[in-house]
A = this chain, B = another copy of it.
Amino acid sequence: MIYDVYSEACPTRLVLDRLADKWVLLVLGRLTEGPMRFNHLRREIEGVSQKVLSQTLKRLERDGLVTRQAFPTVPVTVEYAITPLGRTLSETAQALARWAETNIEAVMAAQAAYDAQAGGQTSRATT
Q: Point out residues on A near B: beta carbons under 8 Å.
A: 3-8, 11-13, 15-17, 19-22, 24-26, 29-30, 44-47, 61-65, 68-72, 76, 85, 88-89, 92-93, 95-97, 99-101, 103-104, 106-111, 113-115, 123, 125-126
Contact = CB atoms under 8 A, between A and B. Distances in A.
Contacts of A13: 22, 47, 100
Of the listed residues A16, A47, A68, the one surrounded by the most CB atoms of chain B closer than 10 A to its CB is: A16
A68 B123 contact: yes
Contacts of A29: 6
Q: What DSSP secondary structure best describes chain A's contact surface?
A: helix
Chain multiplicity (copies): 2
B110 A62 contact: yes
